[in-house]
Amino acid sequence: VQQALALARANLDEARRSVLDLRAAPLEGRTLAAALAVLASETTARQGVAVGFSAIGASRPLPAAVESGLFRVAQEAIRNIVQHAATNAAQMTLTVTPARVTLAVEDAGRGFDPDHVPPQRFGLTGMNERLKLLGGTLTLASAPDQGTRVEATVALA
């Protein structure tokens, strides 16, 4: 019974976060690069995880759906680092080329086995589904005690 109650509470918390994320304007009139820089600095200030950010070729305007989707992926990846990685540093890199845009978020934290993610955890599934809607892909590299790297790529036509 206690385990079921804990699972229900965790699912409710996740649902509340998802609803709040949907209501908030993700970029608030900023470019994706500017919004990611703010996310990095706010996470550093509020969560105690020093998040670095760099942008390569990001001066090109991107489709609004791509910017919004990648920002949501970044939010979830950073949230996962804060909650699960047991690290004090992370790095986000946005790379824009004529053919594609790639967002990489990585940490040197405790890592995990991607084949054994508890079914009540929806973050990775949500990131993957969001990218599929954009015609993109999510690549995950992690292992226990080896950190985690999440890479989201969307082709630009």
Angstrom distance (rounded) from CA 31 to CA 135: 21
DSSP string covering 106-149: EE-S----GGG--TT--HHHHHHHHHHHTT-EEEEEE-TTS-EE
More confident residue, 141 or 21: 141
Query: Would you say residue 16 has pLDDT above 70?
Result: no
Burial of 29 (0-12, 13-18, 19+ CB in 10 A): exposed
The per-residue pLDDT for 130 is 92
8 A C-beta contact, residue 105 and residue 78:
yes
8 A C-beta contact, residue 105 and residue 92:
yes
8 A C-beta contact, residue 127 and residue 150:
yes
Instruction: Write the pLDDT tens digit of every residue in 125-155.
Output: 889 999 999 999 999 999 999 999 999 999 9
Q: What is the pTM of this model?
A: 0.81
Assign domain 2-155 to its CATH superfamily: Histidine kinase-like ATPase, C-terminal domain (3.30.565.10)
> How many CA atoms lie less than 13 Å away from 94 in the CB half-sphere?
25
Positive or negative: CA dihedral 41, 128, 19, 119: negative
